[in-house]
A and B are shown apart, each in its own frame.
Chain A
Amino acid sequence: MEKRTWHDFFTEQDKRHDEMWGKQSLNGFGEKPVFVMIDMYYSVVGLKREDIFESMKLWPMSTGLEGWAAIDKTVELLASARKNGIPVIHVKGMNSGINHWTKGSRRGRAKTGLTPEMIEKGRQIVDEVKPIPGEIVIEKAAASAFHGTPLLFQLISLNADTVICAGETTSGCVRASVVDGATYRFQMGVVEECVYDRTQASHYMNLYDLHQKYADVVSLDYAMDYFDQIGAAKKVKIEA
Chain B
Amino acid sequence: MAYDFEDHCWKDVIDDDVLQIYKAYERETFVGKSPALLLIDMYNMAYQGGAKPPIELQDKFPSSCGMYAWETIEPTKQMLAMARSMAIPVIYLTSDQLTRARGVKVSATNRKGPAKTEDAFEIFAEFTPEPEDLLIYKTRASAFQGTPLTSYLTRMGIDSLIVLGESTSGCVRASVVDAYSNGYHTVVVEECVFDRSPLSHKISLFDLHHKYADVMHIDEVLAHLSNRQLVKTV
Contact = CB atoms under 8 A, between A and B. Distances in A.
Given A96-B135, A137-B98, A137-B99, A157 B151 contact: no
Q: Is the interface of A mostly helix, strand, loop or mixed?
A: loop
A135 interface: yes
A71 B151 CA distance: 31
B104 A158 contact: yes
Interface stretch (B79-87, B142-150, B211-219, B223-231): B142-150
A98 B99 contact: no
A153 to B, nearest CB: 5
A148 B106 contact: no
Q: Among A135, A137, A152, A153, which residue has the most Cβ atoms of chain B within 10 A?
A: A153
Q: Among B106, B134, B148, B151, which residue has the most Cβ atoms of chain A within 10 A?
A: B148
Interface string B114-155: 000000000000000000001111111000011111111001
A101 to B, nearest CB: 7
B150 A148 contact: yes
A147 B145 CA distance: 10
Nearest to B132: A97
A79 B113 CA distance: 35
A136 interface: yes
A94 B147 CA distance: 11
B105 interface: yes
A96 B106 CA distance: 23
A5 interface: no
B74 interface: no
Contacts of A138: 98-99
Contact of B156 (A98, A133, A141): A98
Contacts of A154: 99, 104, 106
Q: Is the interface of B mostly helix, strand, loop or mixed?
A: loop
Nearest to A139: B98
Contact of B147 (A98, A134, A137, A148): A148
A116 B228 CA distance: 40
Interface string B93-104: 000101101111
A80 interface: no
B154 to A, nearest CB: 10
A61 interface: no
A157 B106 contact: yes
B146 A150 contact: yes
A148 B101 contact: no
A124 to B, nearest CB: 14
Nearest to A152: B146
A142 interface: yes
A70 B99 CA distance: 25
Nearest to A101: B151
Contacts of B150: 148
Contact of A135 (B101, B105, B156): B101
Contacts of B138: 150
A134 B103 contact: yes
Q: Among A94, A133, A136, A158, which residue has the most Cβ atoms of chain B within 10 A?
A: A136
A134 B103 CA distance: 8
B158 to A, nearest CB: 12
Contact of A134 (B101, B105, B106, B135): B101
Interface of A: 94, 96-98, 101, 133-142, 147-154, 157-158
30 contacts: A94-B148, A96-B135, A96-B136, A98-B151, A98-B152, A98-B156, A135-B101, A136-B104, A138-B98, A139-B98, A139-B137, A140-B148, A141-B152, A142-B148, A148-B146, A148-B147, A148-B148, A148-B150, A149-B147, A149-B148, A150-B106, A150-B139, A152-B146, A153-B139, A153-B145, A153-B146, A154-B106, A157-B104, A157-B105, A158-B104
Given A101-B151, A147-B151, 19 more contacts: A98-B134, A98-B155, A133-B102, A136-B101, A137-B98, A139-B137, A141-B148, A147-B148, A148-B146, A148-B151, A150-B106, A150-B140, A152-B146, A153-B106, A153-B146, A154-B99, A154-B104, A157-B105, A157-B106
